[in-house]
Structure 1
Amino acid sequence: MGILLLLVALIFEITFAIYCIVTEQNHKKIKNWISIAAFTVFVILTVSSVIVWSFRWVMLAILLFLLAIIGTVSLILKKSNIKQYKTSNIVWKSITMILTFVFVLSPVIIFPQHQSPKVTGEYEVATTTDTYVDKNRIEEFTNKGDNRFVNVEFWYPKNADGTYPLLVFSHGAYGIKTSNRSTYTELASHGYVVVSIDHPYHSFYTRSEEGTIATISSDFRDEFEKNMNKGVYSNEERYNIIQKWMKLRTDDMNFVIDTILKKSKNDNNSLYQHIDTEKIGVFGHSMGGAASVWLDRERNDISAVVNIDAPFFSELVYKKEMNDFVASSKDFTTPLLNIYSDDVWGQLENNSIYIANKLNNEHFKDAYTTHFKGAKHLSLTDLPLFSPILTNILQGGKADIDKLYCIETENELILKFFDFELKGIGHFTPKETY
């Protein structure tokens, strides 16, 4: 819709400028009436929900409102066509307005209004945020001696009347805790308490309840980008960096889970009282998926894991004599669902980082594995719906799979998996390819 509105604005401004030049008049009265009409149409479209009000429309609304006010005052004071006609003035005004519309419509274009993934559960979903401060850890990214804080957001059944399994989500590198909001909402609507973690300085942006802001660390970003470029780091260096990343991630996840378990015993907040602490699942995208699998190796209370497009970092063993990675020989016995995009699927056989993910790995013989054909790495998050342009830039092109179908199918699979493994509901037999 943003591009359509911009085209309308461009066509109007150019056509009106040509009309003024041909007739050698300013036609300010006509312009004033059109400004008033444009704002009126915008209000009607918003009230009728054709335009769903959100942050993306704020700048356009302000511009149309100001133009309508100026037009109304001008008509009342009868200031039409007072200024002497000059072609240069018409041209410059037209160019200025075109650039202004490009600016105010940029949020609508970058973050277009979109159809939300369906929510199929019986429960209305509520959300709440919190900040947990880990008094046993000093923040390594700031060198200020402060304790590390971890921001979390919960999605849970509103007006809950029972206890529900706890699901813990970890975002990918540069991600945010709302990266898979539609997944959390769908799960919560079916009777789960979902908590998503912002990993400060691994997250693009996070803000604590007290207002402390943490953006992505330049050191982490530099490490990550170099690690993605083959040949910058040796395999031994890559292995050590991965260990560091995973320790930070799993320490955050362990801390959050332990805090929630403690609050479920000592905190009167109804949210914590509705958590079934005997049924815990973890899941994550990309680096968060790797951390989820890793976390299961550290804890005995995790009953199900979903890995979304991530390597099994926990299963990598660096062999100095080979200068390469081999897969761990330890069986993985917790129920596991792997969901892969084309980006990862194509690396399972030829990238040693994914050696443990290979389909013939006997130590993961009971894992469920499925492939979303035509999907790219970010297709398995909500970002393609929220910002197709930004997604295509970050992942180097447009995915072939329909973005709404992809996320809805992924959400359905994750729900069925957790239902089967944590609640004993139904059966779970995913297709090999979607």
Structure 2
Amino acid sequence: MRFFEMLLIVFNIFLFGWFIFAKNKSQRQLLIGFGISAIITLLHGVIEGMRWQMIPAYTMTVVPLVILASRLKSKPEERVAIKASSVKRITLTALAVIYSSVAVALPLILPVFTFEKPTGSYKIGTVTYDWRDNQREETLTPESGDKRELMVQIWYPADATAEGEGVKYHSNADVFAKAYGSMMNLPKLLFTTFGYVKTHAIENARISNQESTYPVLIFSHGFSGHKNQNTFQIEQLVSHGYIVVGIDHTYNSMVSVFPDGRVANLISDDSDSVAQLNQTNEIWVEDAKFVLDQVEKLAKADPDHRFTGRMDMQNIGMFGHSFGGAATTQMVMEDSRIKAAINMDGVPYGKRSISVGGLKKPFMMMTADESTDNSDFGGFIETIMTKNNDAAHNKNYWMKFKNMTHYGFSDSHLLSPLYEKLEGVDIREAHRLINDYSLDFFNHYIKQQPFKLLEQTIGDHPKFTLQTN
């Protein structure tokens, strides 16, 4: 709950109780109290933005004013009668308790959540691109001649003097709220909270000169996800000196919004077969290769002069969630530019089989305990852990999270604490573990730094089990 939201609710509940129970309260005192409530409401609206979850709290500001106004118009003998009515007072008290509970519960159940402050020394900058691959036809639309077009967001270490407000999690909040609602068959209103969430990234900030170049990590979201669905993880990596490139896989993402206002909604096929999913995976792999090509161009000659000579294209990693994890696994085998990768709960799809030759590169698998109950998934992980031709230099790791869900690897569970209650997941703790071990893995295999966690914590732990080959 945001500061002025909390202040407004607490003050209004106190004011409401005082209005009902206090004796010898003057009209002047009442007007001052309700005036303060109105000022807090105004500050909340201007600074934080008003939202529907706070309607009961807003009403707590207005209704007592109406009651006060009616009392001012009533005759003295009528006021005495009102005071003498114990039944009316009990009824009013009960309604006040119920209403106050609702006013508190709604903002808590659907809070404007915040991302934890990244632990690295770098501030975070971000910029977004609209890239069209003129060499590929768009196969997911009926129109012939369409070319594959992708929205891409890049996060990078920003200069220490960079100032500005963190960009919104979703700049097109209404479009995304509608997309969330449509995907989950729930009212759009439940997802408007995302529109108030802000990140730590400053748009178009100057890149930091603390290091001459920064290694690059590619991020691929889950099916029906979006390029910034792992902001909790992306910001942490960037704060420690990485450039992260997030891809929206158009028509397979929740929704893609292009600069000219065009909206590409999710196209889902309920009859998806393994063959179809393998074909879709290939499209995602080609997306990643194309984006890497574009990133190489930026590194050589950025028209905005931001990334020219600042990207370490000799040290590139990749990570992905779910279907994006599957695309990441394929990229490790297909693209020599990828040096190391992390797959977060992604089942095996794609044209290349891991069982033939292994991965031959450092690889980390993160899974939820519920996912590995699937025998096919378990077999896939077993293959990863055994098929590596050079385990001395290219080790594989498997980190199995206990009491974890598939979507716990993304930002989605931050929407409401109900997820944690229903699923039994401590999502903040899970995110910290994901961040710590992702950073340690990439620091070693991309930045050539000594391990601080991975090799030191092999074995079983209360929150996870870690294995290596």
- TM-score grouping bracket, smaller chain normalisation: 0.7 to 0.9
Q: Does structure 1 residue 381 correspond to structure 2 residue 410?
A: yes
Give 1:288 shift.
0.6
Mean alpha-carbon deviation: is it higher for 286-295 or for 133-142?
A: 133-142
- The residue aligned with 1:207 is 257
- The residue aligned with 2:143 is 144
Q: TM-score, normalised by structure 2?
A: 0.68
Code of the aligned partner of 1:283: F
Over 3 Å counting, the alpha-carbon distance change for 1:298 and 1:359 in structure 2 is: closer
- The residue aligned with 1:257 is 292
Give the SS at the match of 1:410.
helix
- The residue aligned with 2:244 is 194
> Which of residues 267, 281, 287 is equivalent to 2:302?
267
- The residue aligned with 1:124 is 123
- The residue aligned with 1:336 is 363
Give the SS at the match of 1:423.
coil
Over 3 Å counting, the alpha-carbon distance change for 1:9 and 1:72 in structure 2 is: closer
Q: Does structure 1 residue 170 correspond to structure 2 residue 220?
A: yes
Q: Does structure 1 residue 404 correspond to structure 2 residue 415?
A: no
Measured on the aligned residues, the alpha-carbon RMSD in Å equals 4.4
Q: Is the 8 A contact 1:131 1:209 kept in 2?
A: yes
Q: Is the 8 A contact 1:376 1:399 kept in 2?
A: no
- The residue aligned with 2:189 is none
Matched residue count: 387
Instruction: Output one character per residue of 1:278-336: Cα deviation in whole Å (capped at 9) or x when no partner.
Output: 1110100111111100112221111010011112324776xxxxxxxxx6332211100
Q: In 2, Cα distance between the equivalents of 1:126 and 1:183? A: 15
Over 3 Å counting, the alpha-carbon distance change for 1:289 and 1:59 in structure 2 is: same
Code of the aligned partner of 1:329: V
Q: Is the 8 A contact 2:215 2:313 kept in 1?
A: yes
Q: In 2, Cα distance between the equivalents of 1:242 and 1:258? A: 24
Mean alpha-carbon deviation: is it higher for 193-202 or for 258-267?
A: 258-267
Q: Is the 8 A contact 1:312 1:357 kept in 2?
A: no
Q: In 1, Cα distance between the equivalents of 2:15 and 2:65? A: 19
- The residue aligned with 2:132 is 133
Code of the aligned partner of 1:182: F
Instruction: Output one character per residue of 1:358-381: Cα deviation in whole Å (capped at 9) or x when no partner.
Output: 268521463111111111112222
Query: Any unmatched runs of 5+ in structure 2?
Result: 83-88, 160-207, 465-469
> Which of residues 440, 447, 461 is equivalent to 1:416?
440
Code of the aligned partner of 1:409: L
Q: In 2, Cα distance between the equivalents of 1:242 and 1:359? A: 20
Q: Is the 8 A contact 2:226 2:248 kept in 1?
A: yes
Q: In 2, Cα distance between the equivalents of 1:17 and 1:241? A: 65
Pairing 1:23-422 to 2, within 5 Å after superposition? 35-42=34-41, 54=48, 57-59=50-52, 81-82=72-73, 106=106, 109-114=109-114, 116-145=115-144, 146-159=146-159, 160-161=208-209, 162-217=212-267, 219-220=268-269, 222-223=270-271, 238-273=273-308, 274-314=310-350, 328-347=355-374, 351-358=375-382, 361-364=385-388, 366-389=395-418, 391=419, 397-400=422-425, 402-422=426-446
Q: In 2, Cα distance between the equivalents of 1:109 and 1:5? A: 17
Over 3 Å counting, the alpha-carbon distance change for 1:361 and 1:425 in structure 2 is: closer
Give the SS at the match of 1:303.
strand
Q: Is the 8 A contact 2:407 2:413 kept in 1?
A: yes
Q: In 2, Cα distance between the equivalents of 1:422 and 1:413? A: 14
Q: Is the 8 A contact 2:278 2:351 kept in 1?
A: no
Q: In 1, Cα distance between the equivalents of 2:28 and 2:264? A: 51
Q: Is the 8 A contact 1:32 1:74 kept in 2?
A: no
Q: Is the 8 A contact 1:117 1:407 kept in 2?
A: no
Instruction: Output one character per residue of 1:163-196: Cα deviation in whole Å (capped at 9) or x when no partner.
Output: 1111000111221111111211111111110011
Over 3 Å counting, the alpha-carbon distance change for 1:36 and 1:214 in structure 2 is: farther
Code of the aligned partner of 2:128: T
Q: In 1, Cα distance between the equivalents of 2:28 and 2:60? A: 13
Query: Any unmatched runs of 5+ in structure 1?
Result: 20-26, 228-237, 318-326
Give 1:256 shift.
0.8
Percent sequence identity is: 26
Give 1:338 shift.
0.9
> Which of residues 447, 453, 458 is equivalent to 1:431?
458
Q: TM-score, normalised by structure 1?
A: 0.73
Give 1:11 shift.
7.7
Over 3 Å counting, the alpha-carbon distance change for 1:384 and 1:65 in structure 2 is: closer
Over 3 Å counting, the alpha-carbon distance change for 1:293 and 1:359 in structure 2 is: closer
Q: In 2, Cα distance between the equivalents of 1:11 and 1:62? A: 14
Q: In 1, Cα distance between the equivalents of 2:254 and 2:156? A: 25
Q: In 2, Cα distance between the equivalents of 1:267 and 1:143? A: 34
